[in-house]
Amino acid sequence: MARIRVIEPEDARGRLREIYEELAGKRGKIAAIHKIQSLNPESIRSHMDLYMTIMYGKSSLSRAQRELIGVVVSRANGCEYCVRHHLEALRHFWRDPLLLKCIEEDFEQAGLDDRNAALCDYAWKLSRRPAGIDDDDFRAMRETGLDDQAILDATLTVAYFNFVNRIVTGLDVELEPDPGGYKYE
């Protein structure tokens, strides 16, 4: 159970009700990560703007790569809620159950191509040991053809998931019975 009071959609009024209705319309349903912010409705709106920019905005990183980064960061932080949600999203793009299982358990054993492996390595390291990032990490990404814009987008994605993982774990957001079923494209 969440550590703070949450206003459910059926009890929402005013601006919160509008935001919930907009979310349900655009995303297909309302996630617990949004409901946990119900006491500050505008934070939900700002959160969604940031999420949509980072995860759906124009980028040389694919949607699948951004979801992959989300799973790796969330695993690094022990945020099962976000692992489950973003593994479901990744499943939408990658339909290989064995590959997804490997990514869930240990991305280093998943047999990813060099570009995706470099993104995962960077995501893990930036989440676990941010002060340890060095020129070798950037060289490894550039050697796979990632340019500065892609590296920026990867960094923004890593930072976003570290932010959300702390909301989820700090406030003890519970995983919904069905973490899938959102609009992924």
pLDDT at 179: 77
pLDDT at 1: 82
Residue 99 has pLDDT above 90, yes or no: no
Query: Which domains can be identified in the chain, with CATH numbers?
Result: 63-165 (1.20.1290.10)
- Between CA 53 and CA 48 the distance in angstroms is 8
103 pLDDT tier (thresholds 50, 70, 90): confident
Residue range 112-159, pLDDT digits in tens: 999 999 999 999 999 999 999 999 999 999 999 999 999 999 999 999
pLDDT at 66: 97
174 pLDDT tier (thresholds 50, 70, 90): very high
- Between CA 37 and CA 50 the distance in angstroms is 15
pLDDT at 58: 97
pTM to 2 decimals? 0.93
Residue range 27-86, pLDDT digits in tens: 889 999 999 999 999 999 999 999 999 999 999 999 999 999 999 999 999 999 999 999
pLDDT at 36: 98
Residue 106 has pLDDT above 90, yes or no: no
pLDDT at 107: 87
